Structure 1
Amino acid sequence: MPRAILCVLDSFGIGAADDADKFGDVGSDTLGHIADECAEGKGDKEGLRKGPLALPNMDRMGLGAAAKLSTGKDVAGLDFAGEPEGLWGYAQELSKGKDTPSGHWEIAGVPVEFEWGYFPNEVPCFPQELLDKIYERNNLEGALCLAHGSGTVVIEEFAEEHIKTGMPIFYTSADSVFQIAAHEETFGLERLLKLCEDVRQLLDDYNIGRVIARPFVGSVESGFERTANRRDYSVLPPAPTVLDRLKDAGREVIGVGKISDIFAHQGVTKLLKGAGNDQLFEKTLEAMELAKDGDLVFSNFVDFDMLYGHRRDVPGYAAALEHFDRRLPEMIEAMQEGDLLVLTADHGCDPTWRGTDHTREHVPLLALIKGQKGGAIGARKSFADIGETIAKFLGVEQGKVGVSFL
């Protein structure tokens, strides 16, 4: 039996979703706007990249065709003239949010039908009764920031005071999340992780999706840098996912990157961590070597979202896409005959859009079965079609939501 390899290019949307008006995202288009800026020279950056966006390998799989199906427009720089070699289309999200857990859980066959809890965009953004419990239970004198913010900016602003006082940095975003940043050496990594575990327990009453540990190192003199020891503490998916069905069938589910954290370590049988897209690509190749017949390799490439989408960095996002595209043939070469490769995303994060939040977009759905021809799979009504395709392909029980495109 062949294997399945599922790669989530975190935040790589290809045009505003049908319900984008509910999220203030009508007109958003991560791929299209990056391509437009590159075509106009606004995506150039000395020593990084220059010229029109070049994604020939994903375009050959059907990226340009999928984007045109989504928006009705050609994408600047994507000009593959032949019939796409992969199965191509796009998917619409059913879940009520545009966050990481909702997107990934729906990809795995379980849409999020409830509303997450969120913290208001005010200072302090966290309820005082919650903060008092955290301080008392963790022997803290207080915390810094207590507001909405970007992780790198928050660290730059509060790191010096954090080191002097020992108070951790608490912040949130438009997502359902409580983030805690602390210095790995002065505060301690283990202490930070224990703090996050305790906060996770307290947040169940607030219906908050994730607590994220954001460790960093450095000094005022040398500058501060986040490390690869990030940890996400998520609630469990509301129902069994295709990962659980595969595990119950005795298959290996190898999670690469933050996949295991997103699913609260449920359904993942083996975990490979990596820092940055390039290392995550290497870990995906390693996972493919480990995978046996009927197994799933599930990878998240976080840099697109974390480093470039949220920071509204068009040249960085474009360069990261081009680098992934250049390496894509390595992944295809490592596939065995009959293996299934799926490239998709969990939401958008248009780097030209107002604010720093995710954007409600269609996501690309590009698939390749090695040794077989491709074709159009159209507009899919749910990300769950991906999970059910994998379930059917690997011969395990089908879920209640989603329709296989095979």
Structure 2
Amino acid sequence: MILTTLGLMSGTSLDGVDVALLETDGRRIKAFGPTGYRPYSASERSLLRQALTEAVHLDSREARPGALRAAEEAVTVAHAEAVAAFLAQNRLAAQDIDIIGFHGQTVLHRPERRLTVQIGDAAVLAKVIHVPVMHDFRAADVEAGGQGAPFVPVYHRALVQSLGREGPVAVVNIGGVSNITYIDGEQTLIACDTGPGNALLDDFMVRTTGQAFDQDGRMAALGTADEAWVAQALARPFFKLPPPKSLDRNDFADLALGGVSPADGAATLTAFTAAAIAQIVPLLPKVPRSWIICGGGARNLTMMQMLRQLLAPATVESAEAFGWSADAIEAQAFGFLAARGMKGLPLSYPTTTGVTMPMTGGMIARP
């Protein structure tokens, strides 16, 4: 049975809410629908950053002390507004949507403590938009001892299968954190976080220039990367761990660049992200023949150039070269996962999150 799903994603880069329509049976993609975007305002981003800072002290998934309560309300309102605008712009009614996949905003991810916290009130969202909302995708995996991330490999596999490309193929999503899905035929699906994505770079840009991110990698292109700093950062134990493995957005936030110029700092952090992705290659069963890059990092031309140099002779292409949406791919993924969750199909596997057995997940809030 084909479902019409609406996926919502607010990633660790804190830029806004992505919306994407998908027609799927949870195994294959029948059709891509339109996509939408609702940016966070400067005040909303500031509130979310405060919530991230305060979330490090959480020891309960349900607790919302301090700024977390206000941040959860802001996330819920932003998602409701994103859905309402999307439906209006595309002349759709609530009854045209079978299920919404609502990831929420991750504020803490500590799988070693069996704790992952995504804020956003699915019950309120379902009542406001009058559509069933599937949420809490990661909780079952983490409670069962899995990493709870990355969580979109099954969608990446469906995308790659539609290409008919000879494997192995690596799909890399560069959001706040970077993650990889390694696909080689129907059976081999491996995934993990590779290291920082845009989080360190975005935070650096905000501090030094007031800009939310490095547009097209222009600032990094003007600078020179500190290769010794990158090598020292890559010496951290995380990079030698085999997949599956996952990160919190702020796991590398203690790395200090010192008194560098904005251009050199941007170049260094961009090089760190690219080098961290390349570090995963020796830990994979085979060297990928091709790499497909999605997420905000795919628009960073300096980062793409660095990746092509590091991963040669493999091809490195943006997801948009295949007609995929580089920006909305995670939103599409959570629409896809909502369809799988409704049908009781696995969302995660031992080779993607380290869970002991294939796990379904998600809970449904009804209007």
TM exceeds 0.5?
no
Q: Which has the higher contact order (CA 8 A, sep 6+)?
A: 1
Higher helix residue share: 2
TM-score normalized with structure 2 length = 0.31
Q: Select the structure of larger CA radius of gyration.
A: 1
